[in-house]
Amino acid sequence: MRILRNLSFWIAVGVVVLIIAYGATGGAIRRETWFTVLLFVGLASSLNILLGYTGYVSFGHIVFFGFGGYIGFWAIDTLGMNLWLAALLGGLVSALLALGLGLAILRLRGAYFALATIGILEAMKALVINIPALGGPNGMELNFSVYRGYGGAATALWMVYWSVAAIALIVVITSYIVKKSKFGLGLMAIREDEDAAEIMGVVAPRAKTWAYVISAFFPGILGVLFFFKQGIIEPGSAFRLQLSIEMLVMVMLGGSGTVLGPILGAGAYQILRGTLLTSDLELLGMKVKDIQLAVAGVLLLIIVLFIPVGAIGWLRTRSATLRRILE
Amino acid sequence: MIDQLLASVTDGMLVGVVYGLAAMGLTLIFGVMNVINLAHGPIMALGMFTVYLAYTSLGLNPFLGLLLAAGLGLILGVIIYWGAVHRVIDAPHLSSLLSTFSVNMIIIGIGTAIFSTSFRNVDYSLGIVTIGPITVPGTRFTSALLALGITGLLYLFLYRTRPGKYVRAVSDNRTSAGLMGIASNRVLALSFGLGTMLAALAGGLIAMALPFTILSGGSYELKSFVIVVLGGLGNPIGALLGGVILGLIEGLVPVFTKITWVPVIEFVLFVLILLVRPQGLFGAKQ
Amino acid sequence: MKRLTILASVLLIMALLAACAGGPAAPASTGSDTSADTASDTTADTGSSEAPATTAQEVLIGYTASNTGKYNVESSRQVNGFDLWMKQVNDAGGLTLPDGTVLTFAGKSYDDESNTDRVQELYTRLATEDGANFLISPYSSGLTSASSVIAEQYGKVMVTTGAASDDTYKQGYTGVYQVYTPASKYLTGAVDMLKADAPDAKKLAIVHENDKFSTGVAESVKAYAEGLGYEIVLFEGYDSATTDFAPFINKIQQSEPDAILGGGHFQDGSTFARQLAEKQVDVPWVALLVAPPEPTFAELGDAAVGVIGPSQWEPQAKFTAEAAAADGITWAGPTGDEFGQAYMDAYGEEPSYHAAGGYIAGLVLAEAIKNAGSLDDAAVKKAMDELDLMTFYGHLQFESGADAHGLQTGHDMVFVQWQKDADGNLVKEVVWPAAGRTADPITR
């Protein structure tokens, strides 16, 4: 357990724990805000394992969130499965899907891979609409009595908060371990130059596929927890391309390939969006809440053009100390 | 049955060439600079709104509105190139994907604030064309003809004019083109502008026949992705054929099964072609 | 220079992020007290400590509106109607409870962008941070079912309007009440009308938007029509975002129906009607959901002629206090003419049923609060369960059994059809039920 002696590990874990604690100590509305942040910490960090470490741009990563969510939701609703089992099931089916898909599409590089992931997301959404067992275009609704099995709605909401918090923490720890492992080094070699990596002895197809599977497993679990809380799942909200791209933005904002980056990126982006959406500020005669997307767009553009390594990546270039403590 | 097939084929072809025109813009940009323009959809939407506003506010005939849309599309493209693309053109793919996506967010954000996301209609009629069992609104018929005409003009430009030859030269090999004295940055900006111009034109043509919102570009952008892959990334004429194929799928699939299977078939085909024939249906083996 | 640019942009971003990070912290400090009426309690307390007779209290009603997006037209009418109710109540000095408390009403709303994703977050905000006492649903069944979960999770009473789907009321909720006639009874009247007025029509094409409400309506009307011996030659759904109906219309034509029933909401419905006309589809009867009763449907011109639509309420409806008294039902609120006139004065257009629904949502809530004599959630729920009310909008009563708690059982639909009057102007006539007819139905 050499990792436990690294200051950078404790900083990453500490940030997540702080977020969890802050969100848990302010009643329902603060919990709701930080629930969303934690959800995206989990999603963005998962994506980062594929995007940041391996260099494969998945534009449709939300497909695992939606697919896992759908299967888990179906299991709870139709089979009466326990939430925890269903969440695990959601994670496993997402991982399996990634395994199958990965063997096929990870052969594609660059833009071709990015396009393929969009295609898979859209194909999956269209497919679910045609499956009556999953509710077709209307999706599914949980009967409210389901929450009674978990101590009533109020308790269930807290329970889901703690579960998502735990998963977010586990994803971050996994992300750290992967980065420091030999496996992670292989992934980063693939990112820098896939052909060279293969020559150096990295079995690229296998490594890529595993990265893909890991980065799909956690979104599957999170999907089940999220839609259990929502009480309703629909194809449009489960497989939303927009959300997928927002995940990318969060990773970039914080710094792709860093452990801390996706955490901060997810936090900053969600809070920015939430604040802009409900603010009464005006800019050039337009309500900021109406142009929140444009403001976020300008921010993203500045980052991509001038600080492509993201906030954490940039800080890491500043000094050796920062490089040591910010991973 | 024959009647329905005829009607469906006609409808599919007519809408397909307009899809093809839009996809041509996307594929032109990719062919020249290896950038997938994720602001493609919003620019189409701006084309729609240009025609709409010219018609409703200025009382301009939609066909004149199209010219306006083309001009604005070209200028906007050049601005986007210098503002968002130029700096990241040699960076990894993610950079240009995200920079064009941020342009997407900016256009959609401001567009939503100004126009809201409510539906608009260009209430312009050219009567109805009836040939046997086929009944088509005149606007759709004209849109398709115009899309073909614009494709022809694009070809004349690319193959018969000096700037067009520069574009093709930079597309083939940017470094060598630069060594030959072609100001490749300006050519890149022009190519981007041409791509967005085609998107805006396609948007304008769609607006003449169908209702739209500022967000409508999104679904046409996805269609453009499918078409571009069908026709081969970077292959404009392939895009036109890809558009017709997509139109035919949309027209003919509902004859045989539920209409909701159309997108499943489209996107599965899309992924399969990426995997099996990434050069597209009409591209030569690379 | 380059370093400067980088530095400047980093500073800018930091500043922005810092500004935003402050965002959730501020409201959260008040969020520690999650009891519903933090704000209103304070005002009430300061009043009651001195002069109990003039106790005033403000009731906060929370809802989201689709200011943008697909449901923009219907939702804005609904909000207009609700605002009109609130203005009238407050202008009249508020609502006086038996204990002398005078209630005034305030609304709090956000834009849900016609998008379910935002709805739950915004309703949570309304129920907790904003401390709304009661909730009104968004427009549409899809958004309403998403908001119902939140209303129930926080134990709020929510009146749903513009949301007809039956399913929402079969999910075990205890505080969600529907003022619309449910989807299962939405379009069956059109089949009854065909049976009476077009006995030759035998083949029906049922096509519907793929959403909760329209699918529910289509499935119910299919079962109903089959029970009456009709042949369903086509039963199919289309995507909510459809703008090009050409392939779909070709398919409908191939099935050669005598009537087309279905549709979805305003946008797709009006586009569908327009393209049916453009393709010169020769089907004598077309009945579409939601779109035809909206006054703006007339903008379609000739394409609107002959299109039939189910409506929750029409300005021609004549429900009166006298008739209610004769039936032994309580009457509340203005007459139809008074409502129509007030709406016209306020917004310069004739109200549609969506506007009436918004008004009624407020009216029903106020009636229940009055009967309960307090703002207590449990007391208001009990009053809602027991409500039996006649208004300009018609009869209202809610299912109180657990199986479909809150489902509307008292209200009935009417059917309108766009026709041309002697001068060639488009007019909306009531064609069903036969007793309430303002004109006989025509074929397209």
CATH number at residue C71: 3.40.50.2300
The CB-side HSE value for B15 (13 A sphere, CA atoms) comes to: 26
C178, β-bridge pairs: C160
Across the range C29-46, mean pLDDT stands at 38
Interface residue of C2, C244, C250, C276 to substitute, partner B, most B CBs within 10 Å: C250
C405 close to C175: Cβ distance less than 8 angstroms: no
C440 close to C430: Cβ distance less than 8 angstroms: no
Q: Would residue B194 count as lying in a domain?
A: yes
Domain extent, residue C343, equals: 38-181+317-412
pTM score of the predicted model? 0.88
Closest CA to C225 of C257, C264, C265, C252: C257
Residue type, C87: K
For B149, counting Cβ atoms within 10 Å of its Cβ (0-12 exposed, 13-18 middle, 19+ buried), the class is exposed
Cβ contact (<8 Å) for A138 and C212? yes
A286, β-bridge pairs: A283
Select from B15, B128, B253 the Cβ nearest to the Cβ of C280.
Answer: B128
Dist. CA A60–CA A116, nearest whole Å:
8
Dihedrals phi, psi of B128, to nearest 5 degrees: -130, 135
User: Do C95 and C44 reside in the same domain of the chain?
Assistant: yes
Reported as a single tens digit per residue, the pLDDT across B257-275 is 999 999 999 999 999 999 9
What pLDDT score does C53 carry? 55
Q: How many domains, in total, are found in chain C?
A: 2
Alpha helices in C261-376 (DSSP H): 266-278, 321-327, 336-347, 353-372
User: Do C136 and C56 reside in the same domain of the chain?
Assistant: yes
Higher-confidence position of B62 and B281: B62
Domain extent, residue A208, equals: 2-325
Q: Calculate what percentage of chain B has a pLDDT beyond 70.
A: 99
Q: How many CB atoms lie within 10 A of CB C288?
A: 30
Q: Which residue of C has its CA nearest to A243?
A: C117
User: Do C89 and C128 reside in the same domain of the chain?
Assistant: yes
Residues of C in Cβ contact (< 8 Å) with B213: 69
Chain-centroid distance of CA C365 in Å reads 15
DSSP character at residue C181? P
Tokens representing residue A215 in the block: 């980065």
Cβ contact (<8 Å) for C149 and A34? no
Cβ contact (<8 Å) for A111 and B110? no
Select from C113, C210, C278 the Cβ nearest to the Cβ of B128.
Answer: C278
User: Do C230 and C257 reside in the same domain of the chain?
Assistant: yes
Q: How many domains, in total, are found in chain B?
A: 1
A240: left (phi over 0), alpha (psi -120 to 50) or beta: beta
Residues of B in Cβ contact (< 8 Å) with A105: 271, 274-275
ipTM of the complex model: 0.89
Q: Which residue of A has its CA nearest to B37?
A: A111
Q: How many CB atoms lie within 10 A of CB B25?
A: 31
Q: Would residue B116 count as lying in a domain?
A: yes
User: Do C297 and C336 reside in the same domain of the chain?
Assistant: no
B201 close to B69: Cβ distance less than 8 angstroms: yes
Tokens representing residue A275 in the block: 């604040």
Dist. CA C398–CA C328, nearest whole Å:
17
pLDDT tens, N- to C-terminus, chain A (327 residues)? 677 888 889 999 999 999 999 999 988 878 888 999 999 999 999 999 999 999 998 989 999 999 999 999 999 999 999 999 999 999 999 999 999 999 999 999 888 898 899 999 999 999 999 999 999 988 999 988 898 889 888 889 999 999 999 999 999 999 999 999 999 999 999 998 899 998 888 888 899 999 999 999 999 999 999 999 999 999 988 999 888 988 988 998 899 899 999 999 999 988 888 777 777 777 666 677 677 788 888 988 998 899 888 888 888 888 888 888 888
Interface residue of B264, B273, B276, B279 to substitute, partner A, most A CBs within 10 Å: B264
Select from B98, B261, B267 the Cβ nearest to the Cβ of A248.
Answer: B98
Cβ contact (<8 Å) for B255 and C253? no
User: Do C43 and C118 reside in the same domain of the chain?
Assistant: yes
Q: Would residue C11 count as lying in a domain?
A: no
Cis peptide before C433 (omega within 30 of 0): yes
CATH number at residue B127: 1.10.3470
Across the range C72-98, mean pLDDT stands at 93
Higher-confidence position of C47 and B217: B217
Whether residue B258 lies within 8 A of chain C, CB to CB, comes out as yes
Reported as a single tens digit per residue, the pLDDT across B100-150 is 999 999 999 899 888 877 888 898 888 888 888 788 889 999 999 999 999
Select from B116, B137, B251 the Cβ nearest to the Cβ of C72.
Answer: B116
Q: How many domains, in total, are found in chain A?
A: 1
What pLDDT score does B125 carry? 84
Helix (H, G, I), strand (E, B) or coil at B134: strand
Dihedrals phi, psi of B48, to nearest 5 degrees: -60, -45
Select from C237, C243, C247 the Cβ nearest to the Cβ of B212.
Answer: C243
Residues of B in Cβ contact (< 8 Å) with C280: 128, 130, 135
DSSP character at residue C137? -
H or E stretch including C106? strand C102-111
Cβ contact (<8 Å) for B109 and A305? no
Interacting residues of B272 by C-beta distance below 8 A, sequence separation 6+:
none
pLDDT tops 50 at residue B67: yes
CATH number at residue A271: 1.10.3470
Whether residue C168 lies within 8 A of chain B, CB to CB, comes out as no
What pLDDT score does C54 carry? 66
Cβ contact (<8 Å) for C117 and A129? no
The set of chains that have 3 or more CB pairs under 8 A with A is: B, C
User: Do C407 and C330 reside in the same domain of the chain?
Assistant: yes
What pLDDT score does A284 carry? 67
Q: Calculate what percentage of chain C has a pLDDT beyond 70.
A: 88
Sheet with C330-331, edge to edge strand ranges: C330-331, C388-391, C394-397
Residue type, B250: E
User: Among B72-76, C20-24, C299-303, C409-413, whose mean pLDDT is lowest?
Assistant: C20-24
